[in-house]
Amino acid sequence: MQGSGTYELSMILGAAALLLWGVRMARTGVMRTWGAQIRRVLPRALNNRLVALLTGAGAATILQSSIAVSVFTSGLAAVGVIPVVDGLILLLGADTGSAVVAALLTLNLKALWPILMFVGYLMHSIFSDTDSPFKQFGRICLGVAMILIALTFMSQVSAALAASDLVRVVISSLGDELLIAALLFAILTWLAHSSIAILLFWASLVQAGITTDPGLILAAVLGINLGNAAPPIVMTWSQAAAARRIVVGNGLFKLIGVFVCFVGLRLFEGLYGILPGEPSFRVVILHILFNCALVAVFTGLAGPTARLLERLFAETPKAADDIGPKYIPGQSEALGKIDLLPVTALSREVLRILGTVQTMLEITLDMLLSGNNDKSQEIMRLEEKVNILFKAVRAYAVDLTRKGVEDPELRRVTALLRYTASLENAGDVICKTMLGIPGAMKREGKRFSEEGKAELDTLFRFLIGNTQLAAEAVMAWQPATAGVLVQRKRDFKSMCQNSSRLHIDRLSQGVSNAMESSSAHLELIADMRWINTQVASIGYDVLPASEDSGDEATEQLIDHPE
C-alpha cells in the first residue's frame, strides 16, 4: 500500500494537518507568552510608515501567520485603536514577514526536529502545572518540530508524486491554463487558512521536479497570495466597518498586484531562472519579491486608499432607541466568529446594562419624590432592554469560554458573566417591586414625610453614585477602584440601617406621614440594599483576593445558558 496513490494522498493530508497544527501550536505559545505585550505595544508602535511596516513584519514572523495579524489588526481598528492607513501599511509588512518565515523554513533545518521535539516536550512537561514562560517555550519548540516533521513528509511525498506520470500530466496541463492554476492555489490557501503551508507544499513539489515551467510556478505563487487575502475578509465581514476597511484594502492591493503580474507574466517569469538557490528556495523568493513589490508600490498609496475605503464602508448609524447589543452579536446573529478584542466588547455591553439600571433608578426616584407613576412604561421598556442585553451578553460570554479564552481574560469573562446576571436581578427588583410603590401610594392617597423623602433621595443618589463607580471598575479593572466600590457598598449598608432607625423614631413620635408610608419606606430600603449588593458585586471579582469567588454560579450559567 505504501506505493499506492491512496497512501500518498493520506500522507499529503496528514502532513498538511501536522503543518497547520504545528503553526497553530507555535502561534499559541507566542501569544500566551507575549500576547499582552503585543496588544499593548502594537498600537503605540505605529508612529510612522516605516515603523508600521517593520511592526507588521515582526508580528507576522513571530506569529507565523499574516492572517492572524490581519484579524488582530482589524479588531484594533474596530474599536478605534488603529487608523485605517496605519493598518493597511502594517498588513503590507505582515505579508512580507510571513514570506520571510516561509523562506527560513525551506532551509535545511529538518534535522533539528528531534532536538526541538525533545526539548519542547521536556519543558512543557516540567512546567505543565505552572504559568511559567518555559511552558510556552516548550509549546513553541513542539510546534516548530511538528512543522519540520511535516516538511520532511512533504518532501518524501513530493518525490513520489514527481515520479508519477499521471501527476506530471495533470501539472503539465495546468501550464496551459495558468489562470485556472492560480485560482486552484487560491482556493487551497483559502481552505487551509495558511499561505505558509500551501507555499511550502508547492515548493516541495517544485523541488522534487514536478514542474520546471516558470510561468506555472509564478502563477501558483500569485494564487497563494490571492487566496491568503480571503480568510481575513470572510472572518471580519460581520464586524464594524472600520475592521473591514483594512482587510478589504489589503485584499485590493493583492488583487491589483496579481492582475499586473498576470498581464506581464511572460516578462516576470524570467525572474525565476536567474534567482539563486534550490528550486524550492527560489519559489519562496518569488513570494517574498511579490510582497516586497506590494510594499514599494502601495505604501505611498495607503492614505488615498484609506479615504476611499472610508467612503465605501461607512458606519451605519444605529437608531437612538435601539435596545439591542451594539458591540457584540445579538441572539439572532451568528456567534461563531469571535472578535480579536472580545473582552473589551463584552465590557462595553455590560456598561450599557449598568447604565440602563442607573437610568431606571433615576426615573424611580423621580416618581417617588413627585408622587406620579407616569413614567412606569419607560421603566418597563428599559427592563426589556436589560433582559435583551443580558441574554446577548450571556450567549457571547458562554461562547467565549467554550472557545478557550486564556487566563487572565477567562477569569474576567466569567466575572462579567456573573455580574450581568446580578444586574439583571437588580432590574427585576426595580421593575417588579419598586415600580408598584408610587402607583399604590397614589391610589391610597399616601405620601412620604419630608424627612423620609430627604433620606430616600440621599440613599438613591448614593446608590446611583455606586453604579457610576462600578462602571469605572468594569473598564479599569483595577483593585484600587474595586476597593473603593466595596467600601461604599458597606457604607451604604450602614446608611440603610441608620435610615431604618430614623424612620422607626418618627413612627414612635407619631409623625402621620411616617405612619402612612412606613411599609413602602422600609420596603424601598430593603430593595435598595439588595440592588446595591448586585451593583457592587463586581468589586469582589476585581480584588485579587476574590478572583475565584462565585465560580460555581458561573459554571451553572455556562452549563445552562437558556
* Chain segment 257-268, per-residue pLDDT in tens: 989 988 887 777
Question: What pLDDT sits at residue 532?
Answer: 92
Q: pLDDT of 141-190, one tens digit each? A: 888 788 778 767 766 666 666 566 666 677 767 767 788 888 888 888 88
- What sign has the CA pseudo-torsion 300, 303, 308, 312? positive
pLDDT at 531 over 80: yes
Give me the mean pLDDT over the 488-517 stretch: 77
As a whole number of angstroms, the distance between CA 307 and CA 147 comes to 40
Contact 186, 224 (CB under 8 A): yes
Q: What is the pTM of this model?
A: 0.51
- Please report the pLDDT score of residue 537 as a whole number: 92
How far is it, in rounded angstroms, from Cα 189 to Cα 197? 8
Q: Does 108 have pLDDT greater than 70?
A: no
Residue 177 backbone dihedrals phi, psi, to 5 degrees: -130, 70
Cell output for 54: 517593520
Q: How many CA atoms lie within 13 A of 313 on its CB side?
A: 20
CA distance 457 to 423: 21
Question: According to the model, what pLDDT value does residue 510 have?
Answer: 62
Listed range (102-116, 227-241, 289-303) with the worst mean pLDDT: 102-116
The C-alpha angle with vertex 527 and arms to 523 and 528, in degrees rounded to 5, equals 115
Reported as half-sphere exposure (CB side, CA atoms, 13 A), residue 123 has a value of: 20
Least confident stretch, 57-61, 132-136, 408-412, 519-523? 57-61
Percent of the chain whose pLDDT exceeds 70: 72
Angstrom CA distances, 308 to 163, 179, 216, 239, 314, stand at 50, 29, 34, 19, 10
Answer yes or no: is pLDDT of 406 > 70. no
pLDDT at 538: 93
Higher pLDDT: 477 or 340? It is 477
Rg over alpha carbons for the chain, rounded to the nearest Å, is: 31
Domains of the chain and any CATH numbers: 5-312 (no CATH), 342-559 (1.20.58.220)
Distance of CA 115 to the CA centre of its chain: 35
The pLDDT tens digits for 20-46 are 677 667 767 766 776 656 555 555 555
Of 328, 334, 322, 372, nearest in space to 348 by CA: 328
- Per-residue pLDDT band for 356 (boundaries 50, 70, 90) equals very high
Give dist(CA 164, CA 371) in Å, integer: 90
Q: How many CB atoms lie within 10 A of CB 63?
A: 25
380 pLDDT higher than 80: yes
Q: Please give the full DSSP string across 399-424, using - where no structure is assigned.
A: HHHHTTPPTTHHHHHHHHHHHHHHHH
Confirm if 410 and 555 have CB atoms less than 8 A apart.
Answer: no
Please tell me the predicted confidence (pLDDT) of residue 512. 55
